[in-house]
Structure 1
Amino acid sequence: LADLDPDLLTRWQARPDGDPYRLHIWTTIPDAYLPRMADMMMVMNTAPRGELEQDDWTITPDMIRAWDAMMQEAGETRYLMATEDTRSGQLDGYSEVFWHPDRAALVYQGATAVRPEARGQGLGKWLKAAMLRHVQTHCPGARAVQTHNANENAPMLGINVALGFTPYSTFTEWQLKLG
């Protein structure tokens, strides 16, 4: 986190005049946004998967509330940022991180996703930059962010590389079709 370029974070958070998007930050998603957030989370089904054949995920408001309860019981904090299109109320992007004071130095980056029809507007960069600034301010002792990125996901890989993320490990997923 100390190596982040503050000018880059500032540039990525700048929005054009008349921008219809509003940025939300939540530790618990408000009930009024819960169905929209469940729908938004399923956009991760559009992330590149290479040649792996996987079923799409289904995420429900009840699942999110169950995850909230598990995190609260474990003493973990999830910071979730979402971009809302103020013209429609639709959530078009989100990013989440997980932090625990017992492992304060390490923040885990969860999903970051932007709806296919909203891509190309800088929402992913905005979310990542705003979240990193938030982590710097609200996660005492945080020194590093750990994330996972599929090589097939060139747009997100480009964002992470531009931010200065470097590989700490690699793994390969194999898929075997049984007759």
Structure 2
Amino acid sequence: MNKLTHFDKNGNAVMVDVSQKNETERIATACSSISLSKETLECIKNNQIGKGDVLGVARVAGIMAAKKTSDLIPMCHPLMLTSCNIDYEIDEINSNIKILATVKIVGKTGVEMEALTAASVCALTIYDMCKAIDKKMVIENTFLLNKTGGKSGEFNFFE
């Protein structure tokens, strides 16, 4: 098992020193999903939610969250992201929206937390915009799908 790097020799929490790392392109994609009623999904698809374009607003919220990850997660480095994309897969049969957040950087540390934060906040925004008509929505299956770059190399959840 790898040594945890967010603790010093005395067990105190620390921000990892990345000053000696090489800058490389790093990409991470995270997933989250939200299950909702068929009626709510139809309202989202037909832009009939009173608060506006649910998926558009959630996309902007996810991008904003990725940029603010270091304000939310204590040991994350503030990063100058080069890209953040939010995509959706709508599953009408199971009444589910899958969120895919992909974040890129050329830097000294990875963007896994930024991708996870983007996907999570995107799901939370969908919930917030639809809660007046569907309080039984369930946010689930939030995980790192894949990542490239850095010392640890590639990771693919399904391998």
Higher fraction of helix:
1
TM-score after normalising by structure 2: 0.32
TM-score after normalising by structure 1: 0.29
If asked which structure has higher relative contact order (CA below 8 Å, sep 6+), I would say 2
